[in-house]
Amino acid sequence: KAGVTQTPRYLIKTRGQQVTLSCSPISGHRSVSWYQQTPGQGLQFLFEYFSETQRNKGNFPGRFSGRQFSNSRSEMNVSTLELGDSALYLCASSLRGRATTQYFGPGTRLLVL
């Protein structure tokens, strides 16, 4: 079974631009979560989608948004990029979210200049 895939793997943007990251979950998984990892803040939860609905949201500004499609693929968007948005963005998928193993993708490394 193929794992979680994320595209692109690396991205360089400048301040003020926007970016869209994509995540394809493991086949059959309906829950997709997004996390931001930085050296200073560690791993922080962004949001979780289940059956195209946002089920949980972390404490990030409204510049961070996401969506999930009917095939469970998910995208997250960051508008008006700031230097502090430079991070590894990880997507995780699971069968139903709670109490099930979350399988993480390889991540998208975003650098904002």
Partner 1 sequence: ELKVEQNPLFLSMQEGKNYTIYCNYSTTSDRLYWYRQDPGKSLESLFVLLSNGAVKQEGRLMASLDTKARLSTLHITAAVHDLSATYFCAVDMIETSGSRLTFGEGTQLTVNP
The site for partner 1 (CB under 8 A) is made up of: 31, 33, 35, 42-45, 48, 50, 55-56, 58, 90, 92, 94, 97-107
Closest to partner 1 by CB, 36 or 78: 36
User: Per the structure block, which two tokens stand in for 75?
Assistant: 């995208």
Closest to partner 1 by CB, 9 or 14: 9
d(CA 43, CA 91): 12
CB of 104 to partner 1, least distance (A): 4
d(CA 53, CA 50): 5
